[in-house]
């Protein structure tokens, strides 16, 4: 990667950001001027020891904006309330259903807007929203059949971040008692279901993206989409060259049920129906066989690890290292938003692997930052993002190097500081498309994000 590049043509930049230290993919570079024009990086100048006249100064370590590959925005309303007592993933799910039942397009917009603002404060510039709350609670479509999805798109825009809306097919409650049979959605799941994959595709085709929004697809899981309809969802994504995501082998119980119903693992079932591939990302990929890992890696299917949720739900530790060695690119997500902190997700992937193997050093800080940036954005359909290079989106985040968590180490170790010591609270600036969304730790579009969160969540308890 060249350290100094120039914008094409004579058009001058509309803004310049001076970065005291910048992560350029392989190393920390001091004194970098980033010229921005039309929402993209127009030039990267290194060796700039002092801020140019008129430049906006970003002190700390500036990284490409972070990609939160997997989100369920409404789960933010569950934070801490599900920590009372014990239980399993399945009992947690019952609480989640209760929250889902109280949402409508207006209340979902308010909640998501606050959640996405929290993400901006954490340095996240793009989110993959795994969206399956499509209809009214009784399953009746809204007058606008995509009212809920459009509320999420609007919320992201108002919070100042990019969104890939992964419209999700969720058609069944689980495997039936006979091969090829599936259970009808239960009352909690009626609002998730379009009844068939063809009906899902018809509705999803009405969604429109925009400057800050892309439209992708998702298969909720092999238990929620009948095997005979998996190819319909895959074909919809293929026709549009859109991202396709799927919850995969998150629970041992799901693996067992799939083996009983189809005589094969969920990964093999997806492979047999054309779901795997370079635009596909498996979410969690926790309980896999050696053959599953080979299938995912050889097909180039990505893996999104969500360590804070996986540990919160006691799901287990997925074989991330083995998946990457097999050829599966890794990305990171905050999923249920037990916390929203991509630095925590990155280090948790490494630290969980240390606990599992009792050895250290599975990923460098550079590799973990790549999962949080380049490969995360690629999983969201934005292969041009995640780098500080000419032509890339001008999406940045700056981490303080002088907080109680980050002070002390030399600047050359700033990437290690960000990954292994910093938290979302250390984010000082977030820039999206050249626009300063978070300045000195404060959101510039939403005055009081904590109050917005509290208000939106309390409204769901009335």
Rounded distance between C-alpha atoms, residue 229 and residue 200, angstroms: 11
Q: What are phi and psi of 305, to 5 degrees?
A: -90, 140
Catalytic residue flag (residue 292): no
What is the Cα–Cα distance from 133 to 148, expressed in whole angstroms?
Answer: 7
Which residue among 284, 337, 362, 377 is the active-site one?
284
What 3-state class would DSSP assign to 46?
A: coil
Say how far apart CA 253 and CA 177 lie, in whole Å. 15
> What is the C-alpha separation between 26 and 177, in angstroms, rounded?
53
C-alpha to C-alpha distance for 400 and 225, rounded to whole angstroms: 45
Closest C-alpha to 340, from 70, 63, 5, 57? 70
Q: Which of 335, 341, 352, 426 is catalytic?
A: 335
* 131 vs 436: CA distance, rounded Å: 27
Q: Give the list of residues 6+ apart from residue 80 with CB closer than 8 angstroms, or none.
A: none
Cα 168 from Cα 179, distance rounded (Å)? 24
Phi, psi (degrees; rounded to nearest 5) at 148: -70, -45
92 φ/ψ angles, rounded to the nearest 5 degrees: -60, -40
Exposed, middle or buried: residue 290 (CB in 10 Å: 0-12, 13-18, 19+)? exposed
Q: How far is CA 33 from CA 64, 141, 418, in A?
A: 14, 50, 21
CA–centroid distance for 95 within its chain: 23
**Given strand 302-305, what is the order of strands in its sheet?**
66-71, 124-131, 162-169, 213-219, 244-248, 280-284, 302-305, 330-332
Residue among 454, 453, 460, 459 nearest 119 (CA): 453
Q: How far is CA 67 from the centre of its chain?
A: 6
284 has catalytic annotation = yes
Phi-psi region of 86 (alpha: psi -120 to 50; beta: other; left: phi over 0): beta
Rounded to whole angstroms, the Cα distance separating 15 from 31 reads 16
**Which residues does the annotation mark as catalytic?**
284, 335
């Amino acid at each position: 990667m060249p350290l100094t590049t120039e914008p094409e043509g004579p058009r001058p930049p509309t803004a310049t950001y001076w970065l005291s230290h910048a992560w350029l993919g392989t190393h920390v570079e001091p004194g970098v001027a980033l010229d921005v024009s039309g929402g993209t990086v127009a030039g990267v100048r290194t060796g700039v020891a002092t801020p140019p006249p008129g430049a906006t100064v970003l002190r700390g370590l500036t990284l490409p904006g972070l990609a939160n590959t997997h989100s369920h925005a409404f789960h933010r309303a569950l934070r801490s309330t599900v920590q009372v007592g014990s239980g399993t993933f399945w009992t947690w799910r019952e609480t989640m259903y209760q929250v889902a039942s109280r949402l409508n397009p207006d209340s979902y917009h308010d909640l998501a807007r606050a959640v996405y603002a929290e993400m901006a404060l954490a340095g996240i510039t793009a989110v993959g929203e795994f969206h399956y709350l499509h209809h009214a609670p009784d399953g009746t479509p809204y007058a606008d059949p995509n009212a809920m999805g459009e509320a999420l798109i609007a919320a992201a825009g108002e919070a100042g971040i990019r969104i890939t809306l992964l419209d999700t097919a969720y058609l069944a409650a689980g495997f039936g008692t006979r091969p090829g049979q599936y259970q009808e959605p239960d009352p909690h799941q009626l609002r998730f279901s379009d009844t068939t994959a063809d009906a899902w595709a018809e509705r999803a085709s009405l969604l429109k993206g925009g400057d800050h929004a892309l439209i992708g697809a998702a298969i909720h899981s092999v238990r929620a989409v009948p095997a005979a309809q998996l190819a319909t969802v895959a074909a919809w994504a293929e026709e549009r060259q859109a991202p396709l995501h799927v919850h995969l082998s998150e629970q041992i119980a799901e693996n067992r049920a799939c083996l009983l119903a189809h005589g094969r693992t969920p990964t093999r079932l997806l492979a047999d129906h054309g779901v795997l591939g370079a635009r596909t990302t498996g979410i969690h990929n926790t309980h896999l066989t050696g053959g599953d890992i080979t299938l995912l890696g050889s097909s180039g299917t990505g893996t999104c690890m969500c360590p804070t949720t996986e540990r919160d739900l006691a799901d287990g530790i997925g074989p991330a290292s083995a998946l990457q060695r097999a050829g599966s690119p890794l990305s990171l997500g905050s999923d249920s938003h037990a916390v929203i902190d991509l630095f925590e997700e990155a280090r948790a992937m490494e630290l969980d692997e240390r606990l599992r193997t009792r050895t250290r050093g599975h990923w460098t800080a550079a590799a973990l930052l790549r999962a949080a940036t380049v490969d995360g954005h690629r999983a969201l359909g934005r292969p041009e993002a995640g780098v500080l290079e000419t032509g890339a989106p001008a999406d940045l985040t700056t981490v303080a190097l002088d907080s109680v968590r980050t002070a002390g180490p030399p600047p050359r170790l700033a990437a290690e500081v960000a990954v292994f010591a910093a938290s979302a609270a250390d984010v000082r600036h977030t820039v999206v498309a050249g626009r300063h969304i978070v300045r000195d730790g404060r959101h510039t579009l939403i005055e009081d994000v904590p109050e917005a969160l509290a208000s939106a969540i309390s409204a769901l308890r009335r």
